[in-house]
Amino acid sequence: MEKKRLLEKKKIFNKIAKDIKNVKIQGARNIAKKALYAYSLIPGEVSLKKLISLRPTEPLLVNVLKKAKTGNFEKISSHFDSAQNEINKLVFKLIGNGEIIYTHCHSTNVANALIYAKKKGKRFEVYNTETRPLFQGRKTAKELRKAGIKVTMFVDSAMDISLSKIERGRKVTKIFLGADALLKKGVINKVGSGVIGKLSKMNKIPLYVIADSWKYSANPVKIEERDFHEVWGKIPKNSRIKIENPAFELLKKKYIKKIVTELGIMKYSKFLKSVKKKN
Ligand code: RUB
C-alpha cells in the first residue's frame, strides 16, 4: 500500500517536472506553484535540485523551494494568491478608462490583474504579441478575451508598428510586463522585453513591471537557452544553419517607470531598497 502511494507520488512529480520543462506549465508563478506541490509530494535535496534545474531563469522557483525546506507548504503556497490580490488592487488604480495596454508573452501576474480590473468595471483594451517560438501570447489573448477584454494580437516583429500605431486617435497608453527575475540592474523577462523597453522610451509610453516580489534575486541569473527545434522543428538535415533560442532578456531598469508588487507601486530603485530590507 505504502509502495503504491509512493509510486503514485513519483508519477505526479515526474509529470509536473516534464510539463515545466516543455513549457506546458509556464510563467514564473505557475512554475513555482506547481514545483512547490511536486516538492511537497517528494521532499528532499534530490527533488530540490531536479526542480530548480528545469527552468534556470527562475528565482521565484528557487526562493519558494528553499522556503519549502521548512515543510510549511500551505503557508508558502498561500503567498501566491495574497500577493496577486494586492497586485490586482494596485493595478486597478493604474488603469484609466479608454486606455490601450500593451503586454508580451503570458504573465499570470499581468493577466490576472487585467481581468480583475475588467471585472471591477474598468473599460480598456489590450494589444499583445504572439511571442515566438512557443506562442504564449495566444494564451494571454484567449484568457483576456474570455474575460470580455478587447484584444488585438500582433506578430513580435510588429512591435514597433503596434507601439506607435494610432487607432481612432489613440495609441498604446501603458505597457505592462511580467517578470521572471527582479535583479539589481533591471528585470529579466521573456525575450523581446529589452526591445519593448527601448521602444517604450522612443514612443514615450510608460512601462510598468507587474510582479510578485519573491522574484527578487540578489545574484545574477543565467539566461535560459532552449532547444533550437522550438524555432525550426524540421530543419533540413545537414543544413549547417546555427539557431540560437534565448528564452529571456534583460529589461534595463532605466526603462521601467514603476514596478507593481504586493509591496506597492514604486520606482525600481525604491523597490530594491524595500525588498532588501525584507530579506
Ligand atoms: C513567461 C514570462 C512571463 C514571466 C512572468 O515565460 O516571461 O512574463 O514568467 O510570469 P515562459 P508570471 O513562458 O517561458 O515561462 O506573471 O506568470 O509569473
- pLDDT tens column, 231-250: 999 999 999 999 999 999 99
The owner of cell 516543455 is 22
pLDDT category at 278 given cuts 50, 70, 90 is confident
**Residue 1 reports pLDDT greater than 80:** no
* pTM flag (> 0.95): yes
Q: Are 176 and 87 in contact (CB under 8 A)?
A: no
Does the CA dihedral 171-95-251-232 come out positive or negative? negative
What is the pLDDT at residue 40? 96
**One-letter amino acid of 167:** E
Residue among 136, 244, 274, 257 at smallest CA distance from 186:
257
Q: Would you state the pLDDT for residue 70?
A: 85
Ligand 1 mean position, distance from CA 160 (Å):
22
- What distance in Å separates the CA atoms of residue 178 and residue 207, rounded to the nearest whole number? 11
Which cell numbers in the block locate residue 14? Answer: 515526474
* 179 close to 83: Cβ distance less than 8 angstroms: no
Ligand 1 atom with the smallest distance to the CA of 29 is 18
Nearest CA to ligand 1 atom 1: 27
Q: 3-state DSSP call for residue 156?
A: helix
Whole-number Cα distances in Å, 175 to 39, 95, 159:
35, 11, 12
Nearest to 130 by CA among 120, 119, 121, 141: 141
Ligand 1: which atom is nearest the Cα of residue 136? Answer: 13
Residues 233, 238, 241, 242, Cα dihedral to 10°: 80
CA pair distance 174, 256, nearest whole angstrom: 11
Q: Is the pLDDT of residue 145 over 90?
A: yes
Q: Considering the chain, what percentage of its residues have pLDDT values greater than 90?
A: 95
- Could you read off the pLDDT of 102-130 as tens digits, one per residue? 999 999 999 999 999 999 999 999 999 99
> How far, in Å, from the CA of 233 to the mean position of ligand 1?
23
Ligand 1 contacts (CB < 6 A) are 23, 26-30, 105-110, 136, 178-180, 189-190, 247
What is the pLDDT at residue 12?
98
Q: How far is the CA of 64 from the centre of ligand 1 (A)?
A: 16
- Atom index in ligand 1 nearest the CA of residue 32 equals 18
Given the C-alpha cell 521532499, which residue does it identify?
Answer: 43
Across residues 162-188, what is the average pLDDT? Answer: 96
Give the model confidence (pLDDT) of 12-41 as tens digits: 999 999 999 999 999 999 999 999 999 999
CA pair distance 80, 176, nearest whole angstrom: 19
CA-to-CA dists, residue 6 to 9, 11, 43, 45, 208, angstroms: 5, 9, 12, 17, 44
